[in-house]
Amino acid sequence: MSSSTSGVVNGGISFWYADDGLPAAVREPLAGDASADVVIVGGGYTGLWTAFYLKQAAPFLRITVLEQKFCGYGASGRNGGWLYNGVAGRGRYAKLHGHEAAVRLQRAMNDTVDEVIRAAGAEGIDADVHKGGVLEVARTPAQAARLKAFHEAELAFGEKDRELYGARETAERIRVADAVGSTWTPHGARLHPVKLVKGLAAAVERLGVTLHESTPVTEIRPRHAVTPYGTVRAPYVLRCTEGFTASLKGQRRTWLPMNSSMIATEPLTDAQWESVGWADRQTLGDMAHAYMYAQRTADGRIALGGRGVPYRFGSRTDNDGTTQAASVEALRAILVRFFPSLAGLRVEHAWSGVLGVPRDWCATVTLDRSTGLGWAGGYVGSGVATANLAARTLCDLVQQDSGQGGRTDLTGLPWVNHRVRRWEPEPLRWLGVQGMYAVYREADRRERTSHRAGSSRLARIADRVAGRS
């Protein structure tokens, strides 16, 4: 490991667990065959929110959650703490179902930011939430062109409270070097991911949901969730495994487990924060093709993420968040490019996690009424809020199917029951993903050096290959 990454705590799940502590005790694993009304596979945000809303709606339901490690071990405990209104696939849903259907999905996502904050507050969960919105910046002419197009698209999908800033107005909010403009939405908040997931797991238990940890599910089939310790039988089996879906029998090519890596700095001094600004604690992103995301943490650090090494051959996942030194170096380089005055700031923690990517990059919620199998995910990095909307939608679908409820606004959203083809077999998907992100990084490099206003043709080619356009 190079000198700039020496002394960095690498892995240990994530900085968020280093800050708040690993679970004091793991909940009991499944003790043998069992039955339930609903069994949920996966103890992250999607699974826990689904259990939360289902149990509130129908307290008599016997709900069991099965988690392979401990609740929040996956992306729910490793993400960037961006609670915001982005949803993967909105443009495709507009093409498939019409513009107004996509507007309804966007409005539901806008509302979801406030719903997470409301529900956390009602349950007494202090997750360091600060609703400062989301600021996304442009640092090159090509990025500025994409920023303007992005801003106009958001307005067209009904986000009338979004604002567009020039270089001076951007600097008044966060002093990002070379920023030529930005766009801001109020529909976003910073939070501490682990405090949220721990509090949510405790809230679900208080409602009477059964949580089994250290219980990996190896296979899901109609009315059965199979584990090494026994099988749970239930009329409804809901798969909420997101980036870990590929580990299930028959699911290797369903969603690709894309890696995202993060760093957390040492706490900044008052003088350093003065040089940076960031007083409103917005979450921060950019318009690069290989984009970054960051937040100002409650204890005064910068937590910053990006793709790092995007994919491991054979859909493998990492070991407890360990990330490669090259990814740490790349993220630190982004930090210094954005904030040159912080060049001497130490990086104290680095980690990685996986997120689920469908072949068409569209988040989905599905309940197959003929089998009782349901699933939600494919959030493509926007899962902190999207998982809550997906969970409420799954809840309504189960209620509707079981005769305890009818059609709702959520069950009529265009992402419900969307189907997509599987990813290519290896080595095609490894070659494709590695090549795609290599092209995106080269496109960003060319845009930084050429100062042309148009996006690089390389990025457009990568978008077509990836299925994102």
Q: For 220-241, what is each residue's pLDDT tens digit?
A: 999 999 999 999 999 999 999 9
Rounded to 5°, the CA angle 39-41-44 comes to 120
Average pLDDT value for residue range 114-133: 98
Q: Which amino acid is at 251?
A: Q
Q: What residues contact 164, with CB distance under 8 A and at least 6 apart?
A: 147, 148, 151, 181, 182, 183
**Residue 214 confidence (pLDDT):** 97
The H or E element containing residue 274 is helix 270-276
**Residue 164 confidence (pLDDT):** 98
Burial class of residue 213, CB neighbours in 10 A (0-12, 13-18, 19+) = buried
Give 446 or 327, the one with higher predicted confidence: 327
Band (pLDDT 50/70/90 cuts) for residue 435 is low
Q: Picking from 43-57, 71-85, 363-377, 441-455, which range would have the lowest pLDDT averaged per residue?
A: 441-455
**Residue 240 confidence (pLDDT):** 98
Coil vs helix vs strand at 93 = helix
**Residue 314 confidence (pLDDT):** 52
Neighbouring C-alpha atoms within 13 Å toward the C-beta of 288 = 26
Given a cut of 50, whether residue 60 has pLDDT beyond it is: yes
- CA pair distance 306, 261, nearest whole angstrom: 6
State the average pLDDT for the chain.
91
- The sign of the CA dihedral 386, 116, 237, 319 is positive
Given a cut of 90, whether residue 453 has pLDDT beyond it is: no
- Report DSSP letters for 208-272, one per residue: T-EEE-S----EEETTEEEETTEEEE-SEEEE--GGGGGGSTT-TTTSEEEEEEEEEEPPPPHHH
Band (pLDDT 50/70/90 cuts) for residue 110 is very high
Partnered with residue 134 across adjacent β-strands are 185, 283
**Residue 3 confidence (pLDDT):** 41
**Residue 317 confidence (pLDDT):** 65
**Residue 320 confidence (pLDDT):** 87
Partnered with residue 64 across adjacent β-strands are 39, 210
Contact 118, 221 (CB under 8 A): no
Coil vs helix vs strand at 15 = helix
Average pLDDT value for residue range 145-173: 97
Given a cut of 50, whether residue 1 has pLDDT beyond it is: no
H helix runs in 31-98, sequence order: 45-57, 90-97
The H or E element containing residue 436 is helix 428-450
Closest by alpha carbon to 296, among 178, 119, 184, 135?
135
Q: What residues contact 408, with CB distance under 8 A and at least 6 apart?
A: 396, 400
Band (pLDDT 50/70/90 cuts) for residue 138 is very high
For 285-324, what is each residue's pLDDT tens digit? 999 987 899 999 999 999 999 975 555 655 566 678 888 8
DSSP state of 78: T
Average pLDDT value for residue range 155-171: 97
Average pLDDT value for residue range 242-267: 89
The H or E element containing residue 32 is none
Average pLDDT value for residue range 396-414: 97
**Residue 451 confidence (pLDDT):** 67
Average pLDDT value for residue range 420-448: 72
